[in-house]
């Protein structure tokens, strides 16, 4: 029996019914890394097998989201790190930003789920702009994928490691203290490659590539693992390195099903 306090983590994220991404994946990752996980759901997402496994999206009332965060903080008294995942609507983004300001969580990991593929006016662009303006400035670290890194940095393309480094620097210069710009296998380096930048250290992080196929939940797993490690006291760079190893395990042991993609499984990772 130990009196050592177990770190508390909170995922503000969507529910994904198949369990392969979103809050379900966040909770499994938290548990695997030895922290206690809470969830405040932002939306319900489910794949539609009758429509090519497209997403069905139902937002949760922003007040209900606010109530969930209040409950998590109220029960535990202290939340050591928060992961922000799928938000999906401007009111949800506003409620999330307000919660971050109110509770001043010591570590905030933003996995910036951007949905607009261009600059055309409309709801998608409004949502992305709200995320950039209201939530991203409150992040300790952000984990954009290649498309999101391109959008957030304002670059026309990212096709090389040098450009990915530039993107990470540009995002950092917008006020995010730590950036993990993810390319995965998309730069054809033969590895799964990401770039970490904190204003001084610029590190290329590489792990073995486990195929090139899409694996649902990999990004959620990475951000959740960073959240867990930060809650345990790791530096952002240390957390990013561990998180990449967690993702390698989760992809190696991925789940196969009827969908045209596999999903991650976190249960086989063993910490050194």
User: Across-strand partners of 216?
Assistant: 263
Residue 1: per-residue pLDDT: 37
Question: Where does the pLDDT of residue 254 fall: very low under 50, low under 70, confident under 90, or very high at 90 and above?
Answer: very high
Q: What is the pLDDT of residue 54?
A: 86
Annotated domain spans of the chain = 8-253
- The number of beta carbons lying within 10 Å of the beta carbon of residue 19 is 18
Indicate if the pLDDT at residue 252 is higher than 60: yes
- What pLDDT shows up at residue 210? 85
pLDDT at 168 over 60: yes
Q: What is the pLDDT of residue 55?
A: 83
Name all contacts of 98-102 with Cβ < 8 Å and 24+ positions apart: 98/66, 99/12, 99/40, 99/65, 99/66, 99/69, 100/135, 100/138, 101/138
Q: Which of 48-57, 68-77, 164-173 has the lowest mean pLDDT?
A: 48-57
Domain 8-253 bears CATH identifier 3.30.428.10: no
Lowest mean pLDDT among 49-53, 67-71, 93-97, 133-137: 49-53
Average pLDDT of the segment spanning 21-48: 95
pTM equals 0.95
What is the CB-side half-sphere exposure of residue 172 using CA atoms within 13 A?
Answer: 19
pLDDT reading at 3 higher than 60: no
pLDDT tens for 119-149 read 555 688 899 999 999 999 999 999 999 999 9
Q: Are 97 and 131 in contact (CB under 8 A)?
A: no
């Amino acid at each position: 029996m130990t009196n050592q306090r177990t770190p508390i983590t909170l995922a503000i994220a969507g529910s994904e019914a198949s369990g392969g991404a979103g809050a379900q994946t966040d909770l499994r990752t938290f548990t695997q890394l030895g922290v206690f996980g809470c969830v405040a759901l932002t939306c319900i997402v489910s794949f539609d097998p009758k429509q090519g496994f497209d997403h069905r999206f139902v937002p949760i009332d922003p007040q209900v989201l606010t109530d969930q965060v209040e409950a998590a903080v109220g029960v535990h008294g202290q939340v050591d790190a928060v992961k922000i995942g799928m938000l999906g609507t401007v009111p949800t983004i506003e409620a999330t930003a307000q919660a971050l300001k109110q509770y001043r969580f010591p570590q905030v990991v933003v996995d910036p789920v951007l949905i607009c593929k261009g600059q055309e006016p409309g709801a998608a662009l409004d949502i992305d702009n709200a995320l950039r303006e209201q939530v991203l400035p409150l992040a300790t670290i952000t984990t954009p994928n290649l498309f999101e890194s391109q959008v957030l940095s304002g670059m026309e393309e990212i096709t090389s490691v040098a450009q990915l480094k530039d993107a990470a620097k540009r995002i950092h210069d917008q006020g995010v203290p730590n950036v993990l710009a993810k390319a995965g296998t998309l730069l054809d380096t033969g590895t799964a490659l990401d770039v970490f930048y904190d204003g001084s250290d610029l590190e290329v992080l590489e792990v073995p590539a486990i195929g090139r196929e899409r694996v649902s939940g990999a990004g959620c797993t990475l951000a959740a693992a960073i959240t867990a490690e930060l809650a345990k006291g790791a530096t952002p760079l240390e957390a990013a390195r561990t998180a990449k190893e967690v993702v390698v395990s989760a992809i190696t042991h991925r789940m196969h099903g009827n969908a045209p993609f596999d999903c991650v499984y976190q249960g086989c990772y063993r910490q050194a």
